[in-house]
Amino acid sequence: MRFREFPPVAGVDTREVQLMVWHPNHSGMQMDQITRLYVPAHFITAIRFWQGDELLLEIEAGISISENPTFRFDVRPNGALEFRAEVQDSEGGVFKQNWPAAPV
């Protein structure tokens, strides 16, 4: 995972952030062109994103999310010192990461 916090815009009390997740997100409907067999399903099932202890974003996902999805949204700084994300996939994988918050 990668995280990006964009510089603040003068006169705006929110900041834009971006969460990038590297994951194949195979739906189970793609065919391997060499073996002619279907690629087994392996996709993101849940994403949670916090600013400090405040849950900002929760997504229950399925096969419709693209490969290597990117989520870009606005947050209102709450004084927290870090952001963190947790991603779960259909094979039971859980991926967690923390990033420091830019000073307000």
What CATH number did the domain enclosing 47 receive?
Answer: 2.60.40.10
Split into its structural domains, the chain has a count of 1
Distance CA 36, CA 14 (A): 49
Domain range spanning residue 95? Answer: 2-32+39-100
Q: Look up residue 90 and give its two tokens.
A: 């259909």
Read off the pTM: 0.89
Predicted local confidence at residue 16, as pLDDT = 96
The whole-chain average pLDDT of the chain stands at: 96
Q: Where are the beta strands (DSSP E) in 39-81?
A: 44-51, 54-60, 70-75
What's the CA gap between 8 and 20, in Å, rounded?
20
Q: Residue range 68-87: average pLDDT?
A: 96
Q: Determine the pLDDT at residue 79.
A: 94
